[in-house]
Structure 1
Amino acid sequence: FTIEPGGNNRQYPGNYSIYLEYKQAEEAAAKEAEAAKPTPAKERGRTQNTNKPRRLSFKERQEFEGLERKIPELETEKAEIEATLYANPPDGYTQVRELSERLAQLAREIDEATERWLALAEVDANS
């Protein structure tokens, strides 16, 4: 026997394997009954619309193209700052700190722009 949700006890004949087969048959019957229910017209319309692949809006398309130009510019600026810091480090502490802060800021901007570009590229590829 088993304890069902709600605290009810139920007895099943046989061993555990027979119990599992019985439970699987019950679940399959419940799924078939759920699938056989007609959906209201309002829900049917929503289901059909959600199956269509999403396309980029005009604004998203512009953002996508802008990111394709912006990311290489940010990476170029980052490479220039790294070259300055490694090849000809500035003498003053404040200059080194400012360049390091800008380098960290550029890294964050590149990461954010790349993540957004990847999300837009995925939507664009699915449409």
Structure 2
Amino acid sequence: MKQEGIENEYLFFLFNYLPCDLLQGYFISKPIPYHEFINFVKNFKPDSTFIEFQQNNSKILNLKIAQVKYFIYKYFKIIRNILQNNDSDKQLNDLSKIIEFDHKKCDFGKWYYSVYPLYEKNIFRKKRRKT
């Protein structure tokens, strides 16, 4: 599968985990002259957090699971950048402004509580059968 229109980090991450072989879009590169393209290809390096996530890469057929992986990646990247840049204690204390700690308001919580009502009955039905 080929995907065109990768305009942001979210789509770039998402389509790397979905069964997609070729990505194209402004997030990767805007149209550039041939000689600049050659230099771009020679020097391109994805960020270290993305590479780390790709080491355990397996294609996923479930869009919701790929979305959750992105949310984990996004926050892992923020924390890693803070730690790698030796940011001051003040900036570390400001993490609460960057990351939502309320389990129902964070990105994962928003997703979980949006799909939970759809599957709640099935979850409890299976649980009751096992006990």
Same fold (TM over 0.5): no
TM range (shorter): under 0.3
Structure number with greater Rg is 1
- Which gives a bigger RCO, structure 1 or 2 (Cα 8 Å, sep 6+)? 1
| TM-score, normalization by structure 2 | 0.25
| TM-score, normalization by structure 1 | 0.26
Q: Which has the higher helix share?
A: 1
